[in-house]
Structure 1
Amino acid sequence: MRLTEFWDRMDRHLGPAYSRTWAETQVVSELGGRTVAEALAQGEHAKTVWRAVWAHLHLPASER
């Protein structure tokens, strides 16, 4: 998954005005207690981060 697709999905589910803020402030246990922004900055693959967001937000299986 490319970062552009990752951010498109984030925008679709959280809204374009909120997705970046959420990514910088919400600690996600599935990412080892890091925020999305921290995980991506530390080199975590976008697909891995998306799966963690998907689980954290309890999104439908079709969005995985």
Structure 2
Amino acid sequence: MAERVVDGWQAVRVRLREFWQLVDEVFGRVHGRALTNDLVLTALDGRTAAAALEDGEEPRTVWHALCDAMDVSDTRRFGASHRQAPPRR
């Protein structure tokens, strides 16, 4: 799959496995799992992150919504790897 460039950013897909790895790394395993199951996000039409993923929402969209709700800085959004954050859609 070819990556595309949007406004100077490489568009990188956040896969479901990577989503859960980031949740664990940024929020901690226990707290992160509680957030994804309990925190209702207005950006996801009043769904939790877990419900949005189950409904087929793209992991990248869910990740940004969760990070926005928790005021996670752009520098922390992609964990210790310090990868370039993909643009929002």
TM-score category, normalised to shorter length? 0.7 to 0.9
Question: What is the CA–CA distance in structure 2 between the aligned matches of 1:22 and 1:52, rounded to whole Å?
Answer: 12
Match of 1:60 among 73, 76, 79: 73
- Runs of 4+ aligned residues of structure 1 deviating over 4 Å after TM superposition are none
TM-score w.r.t. length of structure 1: 0.88
Question: What is the CA–CA distance in structure 1 between the aligned matches of 2:16 and 2:22, rounded to whole Å?
Answer: 10
Query: How does 1:2-41 map onto structure 2 within 5 Å?
Result: 2-41=15-54
> 1:21-51, CA deviations, whole angstroms, 9 ceiling, x for partnerless residues?
2211110111111001110000000001001
| Unaligned residue ranges in structure 1 (runs of 5+) | none
* TM-align CA RMSD: 1.2
Question: What is the CA–CA distance in structure 1 between the aligned matches of 2:51 and 2:45, rounded to whole Å?
Answer: 10
| Unaligned residue ranges in structure 2 (runs of 5+) | 1-13, 78-84
Count of residue pairs the alignment pairs up: 64
Could you say which residue in structure 2 is the equivalent of 1:49?
Answer: 62
Greater percentage in helix: 1
Q: Which amino acid aligns with 1:40?
A: L
Greater percentage in strand: 2
1:4 positional shift: 1.2
Paired-residue identity, %: 34
